[in-house]
Structure formats: structure tokens, C-alpha cells
Structure 1
Amino acid sequence: MTGRLGRYRLEEVIGVGSFATVHRAVDDRLDDVVVVKVLAENHSLNPEVRERFIAEGRALRRVSSSHVVTIHDIGESERQQPYLVLEHADRGTLAARVAELRNRGWTPGTADVLATARSLAAAVEAVHRARLVHRDLSPGNILLRSTSPQPEPTLVSAVVRPDERMLVADLGMCKDLALNSGLTVAGGTQGFRPPEQHGPGVVDTRADLWAMSALLLWMCEGGDLAPALLTALRRSTADDPEDRHPDVASWLTDVEAALTPPPPPASERPAPAPDGRRWRRGAVLGASLALVLAVVGGLVGGTWIAGGGVPDRSGSATVAVEGPSEITVGEQATFTALVEGVDSWVWTMPSGSLVLDEPDVSTTARSPGTARVVLRARAPDGTDLESVHHLTVTE
């Protein structure tokens, strides 16, 4: 197919699959480069395949993350072929990047593993937060997109460069846990498919943890990395889902801990930084260990608390939370991570979900009460930092 689909001018084909063709395209109205994914004409006549294709667009719409491909539009051609208009990832796939690096003699290092693991965790947690299981996390479905370079990157990775952002794509096989118990048919990419997806069976979010570990093991082939990393990844490649990590947060915590060097002796630790220094407000330094929004008194999503966020410090590392101390029911509250000397953190919302790799989080209060916002990170010397911020919600 060439020519146009609505306001989209189709250019070269950049991907061909069993069910769809992917075009680079131009949105004439917004003068922007996009991707148009078109269902093959013969499959457009199959109601089941057609609905699954459209469901991919709906699933992408439900997921909110800078590390998951954004859907801009959905439409149908004059020949009744549905199509999706997606964010353009101009740097190709993870599969192609790793192949290119290996051809140049590259072997993976700690920064490569951390950059990939944090981006994957941010994306997959967002998918799980939407009550979805991806079911097809593989190197060909992980994309790279150019972005504004970080002025002072904390990780210099050859896999995910400082001027790039990693994106998870292709939710065509995702399972909606809100609609069923997880019973599903076989699916996934060979080598990255957990045992429960080899045939009909029950699948939950731990299937994606298996695939995430398989991805890192694949990328780490030939690398001289810490044995503790292999132990952490092998946990979530267990055949029995009950033996795997329970969630993305615990998976990422184990991966990061395996790659963190032991703290230096106390005599070698840097002296505390002087007061009055300038903090880096909301800088996106990567995904992290945990910013926990713990709801007390049986309160549910959006109900927050009262007080100030006391900074926590170890050596040159400091963390704190900035946000309102009191709001009313129906009002939105935004919280900002104030960090210095740490390179990762994560927000856990009142529902228990995580928001990784974001400098700010927002929620709307739905009932009066109190709660607390806890920001946690790990200092370079291995110390766990915690800052508690209190907020009250009134009528």
C-alpha cells in the first residue's frame, strides 16, 4: 500500500509482519513524522483478527508512560483495513542496536544493563498498572527514539544513549486481566516466551517478568557481569510463576542491588555537603528503588496527607519530596522529587502501582483524610534514603 490514509502520507515500509505492514508516514496536518500500522487486507475480513488489532490501539491508549509507544489515532482505509497511527521510533529496535554493537566487538557493561532494566521496568509497570500483560516482550518489540540529550547523564550506555529513550511497542498479544482470569492461548516470541505461554494456560503479570529477565540475559551474553545479576535474573526465569519476583518493583530492586558495588569503608565516605546547596528539581536521572505513597486509615486512591517532606541525606546524596501540605476533596495534588547525588527513584501510588522514571506525579483527592508520601532512593555509598511528606485532605 502506498499513497495516503486520511491525512497521513505513507512513505517507505519499515516493517512487515504476519498480520500487518508498518509504514513511516507524515501527518500533513501537524507536519510530523509518525508510524502507520495497517492490518493486511485478507486479515481485515477476519472478525477475530480485526478485533484483536483494534484492541491493540485501545490497550496502548490505556497505558500512560514515556517508555511505551504512544498511539495518536486509529482509522480505517477505503478497503476496510483498520490502521493505527503511532509514535515514530527513529533509532530502530533493541535487536538491531545490540546486533550492531556486537559486530563492533562490544560487550555489555553495568551501565548498559541498568539503562535497559530501568527503561523496561518503567514501561512494563505502566502496562501492568493498566491491568494488562504484554505477553510478547522481545528485542524486536523494544524500540529506541531520539530525544533531548541529558546535560549531565549519570549513565553512559551504548545500548540506550543519553539522547535516546527506550520504548516498548506491539501490544497486539496483550491480555486484559480486567476482563478475564488470565486464561490464554499460546503466544510470544521463541526464546522470550515463558513456559505458561507455550500452550493454553493461565497467564498473569509474572509472565512479563520472565520475558524481562530473558531479555537481559540475552543482552548480557558475552559480558563479564556480577554473578549476583545472574542469580537475580534466574529467579524470574523459574518455570513456576510462584518462584519468580512478585512484581516489577522487586525485580528492579534485585537487578539494581546486584549491580551496585558494596559501600566503601566509613573512613572513605565523602563528608556531608554543606547546607544551602542547589538541588536538582525533578531531574529525570532514571527509574528507581521506591517512592512509596502509603495510604493510612483504610483510605483509597487519591486520598493524601498533612505535613512537610523532611530531607534525608547520606554523604553528598539527598532526597526530599516537594508538594502541598493540604488540599480539598476533588483537588489535584502534584508531588516533585528533589534529589541530588542519586541516580534512580520510583513513585508508588496509593493503589500500590509504580510510576517509574518520572520527576513528578499527580493524583486527585476523592475523600477526606490523611496519608503520607515516602520518597526512597539509594545513595552511592549503599545507604537507603527516605523522606516522608505529609498531606491532609479536607472537605
Structure 2
Amino acid sequence: MAAPAAPEPLLGRYRVGDVIGVGSFATVHRAVDERLDDVVVVKVLAENHSLNPEVRERFIAEGRALRRVASPHVVAVHDIGESDRQQPYLVLELADRGTLAARVAALRADGWTATPADVLAVARGLAAAVEAVHAARLVHRDLSPGNVLLRTGPEGAVEGVPAAVVRPDERLVLADLGMSKDLARSSGLTVAGGTEGFRPPEQAGPGTVDTRADLWAMSALLSWLVEGADLPHSLDAALRRSLADAPARRHPDAAAWLADVEGALAPGTTGGPDRARRRPAAVVVAAVTAAVLGLGAGAGVTAWLDRPRSAAGGATVAISGPGAATVGEPVTLTADVAGAEHWVWTLPTGTYVADDERVRLTASSAGAAEVVLEARAPDGTALTAVHRLRVGAGS
């Protein structure tokens, strides 16, 4: 006769069950809150790390950070405690549908590629989560498919079209603020960190990090999601803006990032990457007028946090055109690109134009502005050319 199974251990009032995740510093268990009869997650700091004051404080700080973020798209923390072996633990809401990484892997095994509904379902949930994190004066610093979770909750439909990656009865939630940076308590100077492939350049070593690091990771995550999909090339252009090496060239916040993604997928946008073609030099000049250069003196000229590279990996980018103009006078700038198939213009208002050989700008007020041209070399190196334009009042 088999011996009865040993009872599951208790941590406070939580009966700890199966392991559902293991990281470098902590183990995550499914558990039952015996007082409330609810299924939760208990994240326990490893015993060897519990004796390290710095690691211990960072673990506890994750619980505090989660408590500061009020959003249905960020995992909620219910409790914090300590085991008999002095191991701190966090009690979190259960994301019962697994990770985004696992969902996408399962879908791709059946030949799936992302649709516009899939992209919007992930982008909207992700932007809502990151916006809430940033509103709490935090930088997540580790946005990756393994830290984006799915749980029961009817928020997956996009304009009545169900998405496969986030289903109509699910919502996306963001987890793991263990690497988050509290901007209210520091200058942003931080050590290296993040997940390979989703780590912005400024997190590759010690340096200054702000909320724009998360925007880079958001674009990297969405780029991963749409691999192999036939989607408008304007989506690639929107994502590449926040993949700029220099934080100053990225979207200013999650709302602007989402607006560009939604605009790129709006009806009437251009065809997917497989249908995109480099436009001939004689293409009709894109008229980007109105208030494109409607900036005050000095506006648009932002200090670079990284030195831009205009040549690498057998590719080069440059901008040719006048360096001065007057209000009301159209100015044409030309992209001189070699060795790269696609490029993106970023105009002084933050709007972008993909793959046009030329752009025409009309200044509506005097001042100074920058026009940026970005591309990626065949070896993956980000290339950037900056054209500075002085605008006079004219006669």
C-alpha cells in the first residue's frame, strides 16, 4: 500500500504547491491562500541569496514597486512575508494562462504569424502596463516575452476581431519588476541588466537609464512578435523609431509609441515587407508641410546620449540638402543610403516617413530643428544621420 502523500508546506497562510517558474534569484510556486480559498503565486527568494542584504532588499523592493502600480495590466501583489528560514516571499496574483513567450511558441508550431489584431492586442495591453509603471516613476528594465503574462479577463478582442495571441477572454499583464529602477529615488544611473535581445543599448553596461529604455524594449518585443508576418511596412518604421540607439531619438512615451503603432496598422496603410520596394530617385517628393518645422528657437535640438554612427557593416546613411531656410520656403532633403534596403525619416514634429528618397519640409516659424534619417546595416548595426536646419523669419 502506497504511503500517503506528504502535505504541501505552508508559508504563513499560503499552502505552497507546484513550481511554475525558476529564475536566477527566486522560485515561483502555485499556492492556495487558505484564509481566502484563492489560488495565488508565491515567489520565494533563494536561500543562498536571502543572506545577501543587497539582493534581499531588491527582492522586497519589487513588492513595493508592484504596490505602487495601479493597473489591471500589471501583476498585483497581495502580501509579503518571510519563511522560517528567513527567506522573503511575495504573494502575487496568478496569471493562469501562462507567458506570452509560451503562447507564441505554441502558435508558431502550428504555422501562425501575427495579424494586425494580434499586434494591436499585445501593443495596447503592453502600452497600458508600461504607462502605469512609468506613472509610478519606475522603469521596468526587463520587458521580454517571458515577463509578459496572460490571465483570464475579457480584454483580448480588438474592435470585435478576436486575436489568437491574446484571446477574447484574456488580458495581458506585466510581471517581474525585480530589476525596476525607481526614478524618484535615484538619478537613473544603473548597472547592466535585462534579457538578451530585449535589452536597450544603455543597459549593456553601467550607465544612465530612463523610461525610454522601456520604449526600446517594447519595440524589440513587438518586432519579435511580428517575425515572418506580412504586415504594413509602416509598422516596421514605427517600431524602428524607438529602436534608435540614442534615447533622444525614440518616442517620448508609451502613448506616443502606441499611437504610431495604431496609425501604422490603420486601414489604407502600405503593404507588408515582402511587397515593399525601394522607391526610384524620381519618386514624387513627399509633401510634409503644415507645422513640420513649426518650432521655437532651439526646439528639437536635443543632446545625444549616444554618438550616432552613419557608416558600419558595409552600409552608409547621409542627408543632403540646404542647412538654412526661411519661413514659408519649401526645403527638399535627400536620403543618400547605400547598403540598406529600408530607412526611416524622423521629422521635427516626431512624425516619420518610410523609404522615401526625398522629403519636402515647409517651415511655419523661425528657429532650429533636426531631421533624422535612420537605417540598419546588414550586420544589424543601427545607422543614423542628422541634418540640422536653421530657419530664419524671412522678409
Q: TM-score w.r.t. structure 1 length?
A: 0.65
Which residue of 48, 67, 78 maps to 1:72?
78
The DSSP-based 3-state class of the residue aligned with 2:229 is coil
1:63-212 to 2 correspondence within 5 Å?
63-148=69-154, 154-212=160-218
1:17 equivalenced with 2:19 (yes/no)? no
Task: State the shift of 1:241 in Å.
Answer: 0.3
1:352-371 to 2 correspondence within 5 Å?
none
Give structure 1 regions of 4+ aligned residues with deviation exceeding 4 angstroms: 148-153
Which residue of 61, 68, 93 maps to 2:67?
61
Distance in 1, Cα, partners of 2:242 & 2:157: 35
Distance in 2, Cα, partners of 1:228 & 1:131: 31
Describe the superposition over 1:264-310 as per-residue Cα deviations: whole angstroms up to 9, x where unpaired.
Answer: xxxxxxxxxxxxxxxxxxxxxxxxxxxxxxxxxxxxxxxxxxxxxxx
Distance in 1, Cα, partners of 2:170 & 2:86: 36
> Which blocks of at least 5 consecutive residues in structure 1 are unaligned?
264-395
Task: State the shift of 1:150 in Å.
Answer: 7.8
When residues 206 and 13 of structure 1 are mapped into structure 2, their CA distance, relative to the original with a 3 A threshold, is same
The DSSP-based 3-state class of the residue aligned with 1:102 is helix
When residues 52 and 138 of structure 1 are mapped into structure 2, their CA distance, relative to the original with a 3 A threshold, is same
Larger Rg: 2
1:238-317 to 2 correspondence within 5 Å?
238-262=244-268
Distance in 1, Cα, partners of 2:86 & 2:55: 13
Describe the superposition over 1:213-238 as per-residue Cα deviations: whole angstroms up to 9, x where unpaired.
Answer: 00000010010000000000000000
Task: State the shift of 1:155 in Å.
Answer: 3.3
Which residue of 222, 228, 231 maps to 2:228?
222
> Which blocks of at least 5 consecutive residues in structure 2 are unaligned?
1-6, 270-395
Task: State the shift of 1:146 in Å.
Answer: 1.1
Task: State the shift of 1:151 in Å.
Answer: 9.5
RMSD (CA atoms): 1.6
The DSSP-based 3-state class of the residue aligned with 2:113 is coil
Distance in 2, Cα, partners of 1:120 & 1:85: 23
Residues 62 and 178, structure 2, Cα contact 8 Å, conserved in 1: yes
Residues 50 and 86, structure 2, Cα contact 8 Å, conserved in 1: yes
Q: Point out which structure has higher relative CO (alpha carbons under 8 A, 6+ apart).
A: 1
When residues 176 and 157 of structure 1 are mapped into structure 2, their CA distance, relative to the original with a 3 A threshold, is same
When residues 50 and 238 of structure 1 are mapped into structure 2, their CA distance, relative to the original with a 3 A threshold, is same
Percentage identity across aligned positions? 75
User: Counterpart of 2:254 in structure 1: which amino acid?
Assistant: V
Task: State the shift of 1:180 in Å.
Answer: 1.0
The DSSP-based 3-state class of the residue aligned with 1:191 is coil
The answer for the alignment partner of 1:319 in structure 2 is: none
Residues 115 and 155, structure 1, Cα contact 8 Å, conserved in 2: no
Which residue of 22, 33, 37 maps to 1:31?
37
The answer for the alignment partner of 2:241 in structure 1 is: 235
Residues 21 and 38, structure 1, Cα contact 8 Å, conserved in 2: yes
